[in-house]
Structure 1
Amino acid sequence: MTTEPITPGADRTFALSPEELARFREQGFLGPFKVYEIEEMKDAWRKERLALMDRSMAVYGDEAAESGNTNISNYDRHLDSTFLADHICRQEIVDRVRSVLGPDVLNWRTEFFPKYPGDEGTDWHQADTFANASGQPQILWPGDAVHFGGTITVWTAFTEANEENGCLQFMPGTQQSMFYDETKRMHYFPERINRERKGDVKRGFFGYDYRELQIDPEWSPDESKAVSMVMRPGEAIMFWSTLMHASHPHSGNTDEMRLGFAARYVPTSVRVYPDTEEIEEYGGRVSLEKYGAVLVAGENTYTHNRLVTRTTRGHAFTVR
């Protein structure tokens, strides 16, 4: 597995400089940085949001819709959307990710994160294996990767993201120590949504409570260390999923939704959805039959992951 930084070159315009890489390793995040011009993003999303209403080719479309799993139905729309398929391969993103992960990189999941007027803030959390909901790891790094874990998330603002409408918050430097034990497994109660409070802030986690996973039941996140990530449409931020992160509540002072799109990346050596045929989250299950990770850079010399060729709307999936 390659984890050494890649030297910026003429063919890698957006590769991290040594200073940026050092800052990323220290703080656990980098950005915001521009992926699209503001008007370019607004125009693209205005068109794409209508196209995404057609779920006929979505990998979890019918299954997720029938079970009411709107969270899972937000997953992996890059597999049926040309715009999102192009987005996860944008050089502005992939060059930066390769600087940390090495030359051979998979995108293994994407998710939409809408926040509507009055919605709760997302609770402080970390993700290493993403086993928090099912108790089964969704990603596993090889045994020799003792200093690595989690995934690199690139969160792109499709709309304005600020403290009023629920922008991200980070606690810099917390990516090296896990405060949660994901093997404990959380319990899903949809009636919790928008009804939880953590101190003076309305915070929850889509029907889950991250306090169930705390290694120390008496511990609580130190909110004084929080930094808000204010972003314009078309900007992105890159961070380790093990970095302590959350989001502000949507104040309701504006009727505009805040929308983020998270693309998650790992080296090809990482096993994705190991020994499982389903995603189990949010009180339901969906099949991985049509799922495949996407090779966004380099080559794949491993056989442990299912890969999918990039598709466009209306074409059949090719999983191999």
Structure 2
Amino acid sequence: MAESHTLSEQELADFHRNGFFGPFDVYDVDEMKTRWRRERLRLMDRSNAAYRDDKALSGNTNISNYDRHLDNAFLADHICHPRVVDRVTSVLGPNVQCWRSEFFPKYPGDEGTDWHQADTFANASGKPQILWPGDARDFGGTITVWTAFTEANEETGCLQFIPGTHRTMFYDETKRMHYDPTGINSREKEGVRRGFFGYDYRELQIDPDWKPDESQAVSMVMRPGQAIMFWSTLMHASLPHAGRTDEMRLGFAGRYVPTSVDVYPDTDVIEEYGGAVSLDRWGSVLVAGENDNPHNRMATETTVGYPFARRVAPSVPAAGA
């Protein structure tokens, strides 16, 4: 019988109270280091990547870091790993899709990331990227599983959380931020160099005079191969990379929602970070259960033929397909 990694009652209660769970081991340290040495070379080949428009991606490393699980077998297996999915389904229920993955590199000397929350992920484009059904439509978010591929500590720029802040939104994502790449690595906030990939997340504050209570912040120190699971609505940030080591801090985030959640509703593009890319080659990956939502486009072998297809269960066709 396969080992279960489902959260215990106490772990689930702690998750609901704090907004996060972990860190927990997905791979041991040596295994992660070995895998990453191999995969970083393979990922240089973007010939099968979902977003390949060189013009749209020019200088736009954020979107180009999206959804490499769609063309890389290791990342495809990772987002479906039982040590990840068992814990995610403990919170979200039996029918779950991974709708996005992202790399988060932080190079020596890079600024930290602003304190922020994400509910609909409309913060950069003004268009919701996920919408929960019914009563949850006004407040949902996503479960993020952030895995350290390299050392993540206070020197290299680890994540920070403010526990218990996931139940109240302090930001209005409909206000939309203004992209200014000249501000990267040039601003201090409360004495810490922070930014948001060319945006200032403070523009979305509901109360312009409000400030996060950083005295409550906890640092998520993680070894390679460890992961942390948290609500995107949890107040989170990262520290700057102090630059005292040459090693990049690299995190890989898988984002999960129930299949009942509409993903990229009424849009054919991702508009963020001063660019836009087509969703023609994108699809959500069914990581557990069945797809019960005809509005979502699910990735299958017959639609895109990416490596993860062998793990994708039969799904309800998208409307109009």
Q: Same fold (TM over 0.5)?
A: yes
Work out the CA distance in 1 between the residues paired with 2:10 and 2:291. 29
**1:64–1:286 CA contact under 8 A, matched in 2:** no
* Aligned with 2:267 (options 276, 280, 289): 276
SS at structure 2 position matched to 1:169: strand
SS at structure 2 position matched to 1:95: helix
**2:130–2:263 CA contact under 8 A, matched in 1:** yes
- Deviation readout 1:86-139 (Å, 9 max, x if unpaired): 000000000000000000000000000000000000010000000000000000
Work out the CA distance in 1 between the residues paired with 2:139 and 2:16. 11
2:28 aligned partner: 37
Work out the CA distance in 2 between the residues paired with 1:221 and 1:261. 25
SS at structure 1 position matched to 2:228: strand
SS at structure 2 position matched to 1:206: coil
Q: What does 1:301-312 correspond to in 2, within 5 Å?
A: 301-309=292-300, 311-312=305-306
**2:57–2:275 CA contact under 8 A, matched in 1:** no
Work out the CA distance in 2 between the residues paired with 1:128 and 1:86. 26
1:137 aligned partner: 128
**2:142–2:255 CA contact under 8 A, matched in 1:** yes
Work out the CA distance in 1 between the residues paired with 2:22 and 2:181. 33
2:91 aligned partner: 100
2:63 aligned partner: 72
Residues 56 and 12 (structure 1), Cα distance of their counterparts in 2 relative to 1, 3 Å cut: same
Measure how far apart 1:11 and its partner are: 5.3
2:240 aligned partner: 249
Work out the CA distance in 2 between the residues paired with 1:74 and 1:66. 10
Q: Structure 1 vs Structure 2: percent identity of aligned residues? A: 73
- Deviation readout 1:257-286 (Å, 9 max, x if unpaired): 000000000000000000000000001110
Work out the CA distance in 2 between the residues paired with 1:65 and 1:114. 20
Counterpart of 2:50, as a letter, is V
1:121 aligned partner: 112
Please list every run of 5 or more consecutive structure 1 residues that lacks an aligned counterpart in the other structure. Answer: 1-9
Work out the CA distance in 2 between the residues paired with 1:35 and 1:125. 26
Work out the CA distance in 1 between the residues paired with 2:170 and 2:105. 26
Measure how far apart 1:196 and its partner are: 1.3
Q: Does 1:192 align with 2:164?
A: no
SS at structure 2 position matched to 1:19: helix
SS at structure 2 position matched to 1:113: strand
SS at structure 1 position matched to 2:53: helix
Work out the CA distance in 2 between the residues paired with 1:91 and 1:143. 29
Q: What does 1:88-237 correspond to in 2, within 5 Å?
A: 88-145=79-136, 149-237=140-228
Work out the CA distance in 2 between the residues paired with 1:63 and 1:181. 32
Q: Does 1:260 align with 2:245?
A: no
Work out the CA distance in 2 between the residues paired with 1:112 and 1:65. 18
Work out the CA distance in 1 between the residues paired with 2:55 and 2:102. 14
**2:96–2:289 CA contact under 8 A, matched in 1:** yes
**1:75–1:109 CA contact under 8 A, matched in 2:** yes
Work out the CA distance in 2 between the residues paired with 1:165 and 1:189. 25
**2:53–2:277 CA contact under 8 A, matched in 1:** no
- Deviation readout 1:230-259 (Å, 9 max, x if unpaired): 000000000000000000100011111000
Length, aligned pairs only: 309
Counterpart of 1:238, as a letter, is M
Residues 275 and 209 (structure 1), Cα distance of their counterparts in 2 relative to 1, 3 Å cut: same
**2:131–2:137 CA contact under 8 A, matched in 1:** no
**2:119–2:139 CA contact under 8 A, matched in 1:** no
SS at structure 1 position matched to 2:188: coil
Q: Give me the TM-score of the superposition, normalised by structure 1.
A: 0.93
**1:188–1:208 CA contact under 8 A, matched in 2:** yes
Measure how far apart 1:67 and its partner are: 3.0
Please list every run of 5 or more consecutive structure 2 residues that lacks an aligned counterpart in the other structure. Answer: none
Q: What does 1:12-31 correspond to in 2, within 5 Å?
A: 13-31=4-22
* CA RMSD, Structure 1 to Structure 2 (Å): 1.8
Work out the CA distance in 2 between the residues paired with 1:148 and 1:134. 18
